[in-house]
Structure 1
């Protein structure tokens, strides 16, 4: 497990470096993290959650937050309808309605449970429209992203044994042939 944790730490640090160097994030963005710690250690999703692995990933996400100014949002598992853990002040800023549940490893997942225990003033909300996010282990964060999601092709494609998918969003392009998408007056 020590080698697996070392690999996970190195892998997530590479992913964080790619997010930071890619300049995809803005201060205040909502950044959703979906994670199966079971998949990171090479097991099937939902079968072998690890708060030890969650702590490694949480620390890396906090570094991402410090370097970019994003607001972290941790998606729980399907047993609590993929609800999200975030700081109360962020939920209030976005006028999100709290729900009554506390994630635990067997109902919420190890990552969301760990985040809840380690945030300053955590709350759980039902849904968000995040600006960007990372999906570690195919946890299906798409429902938490704004329209239109743009996949990012990072060099680091795995964290431990879990596949990683990252995405940012952009505004919808609306209009027709005469629409202007640049910041000009023509």
Structure 2
């Protein structure tokens, strides 16, 4: 079961990286309910082993590309973000260590898997994966564009995805760069 979940998470990460055209140094925010992955209601059955499998699947895709993972914590930590320190830039750090029942199993796995983990209140990511209805939109840059993935499930959880694009400004006479859509 864990290997299948790892593969599904990796496939979703690979797909959003391609669709969003993520480049080295950009950020993918991921929210994950391991309860939903196992077919339970969000927050009711946190699974560290599932969180670890999903973390490993996503990181095996992102790390070689130099794309940063931003792991969203659950609402008990106000949806804080766990990232590698180098991805935090000049952002103000928070002092918290996620746990399976206060932060979530996925964010806990990321915290323990990163070399130099830090917590942030917020981030502005370039794309996102929402595994199990965790509401990642608050951590995406403007303008978020929904993406329909072929890999739209991890375990029993729905996967929703988004990429971002620059804002269109200027009105009807403006000309836009088609490469930035």
TM score, norm. by length of structure 1 = 0.90
1:21 deviates by 4.3
For the pair 1:178 / 2:173, whether they are aligned, the reply is yes
* Matched residue, 2:72: 75
Contact 1:103/1:116 (CA < 8 Å) preserved in 2? yes
Contact 1:20/1:68 (CA < 8 Å) preserved in 2? no
* Matched residue, 2:98: 103
Q: Which runs of 5+ in 1 are unaligned?
A: none
* Matched residue, 1:130: 125
* Matched residue, 1:143: 138
For 2:84 and 2:174, the matched residues in 1 are separated by 39
Q: Which runs of 5+ in 2 are unaligned?
A: none
SS at match of 1:31: strand
Cα gap change, 1:21/1:67 in structure 2, threshold over 3 Å: closer, same or farther? farther
For 1:48 and 1:128, the matched residues in 2 are separated by 27
For 1:13 and 1:30, the matched residues in 2 are separated by 16
For 2:162 and 2:94, the matched residues in 1 are separated by 26
For 1:21 and 1:88, the matched residues in 2 are separated by 25
User: Which is further off, 119-128 or 6-15?
Assistant: 6-15
Tell me which structure has the larger Cα radius of gyration.
1
For the pair 1:24 / 2:16, whether they are aligned, the reply is no
1:19 deviates by 3.0
For 1:107 and 1:123, the matched residues in 2 are separated by 16
User: Which is further off, 64-73 or 162-171?
Assistant: 64-73
For the pair 1:59 / 2:56, whether they are aligned, the reply is yes
For 1:16 and 1:180, the matched residues in 2 are separated by 32
TM score, norm. by length of structure 2 = 0.92
> In structure 2, which of residues 12, 16, 23 is the aligned counterpart of residue 15 of structure 1?
12
For 1:67 and 1:22, the matched residues in 2 are separated by 17
> In structure 2, which of residues 43, 66, 73 is the aligned counterpart of residue 46 of structure 1?
43
For 2:63 and 2:108, the matched residues in 1 are separated by 21
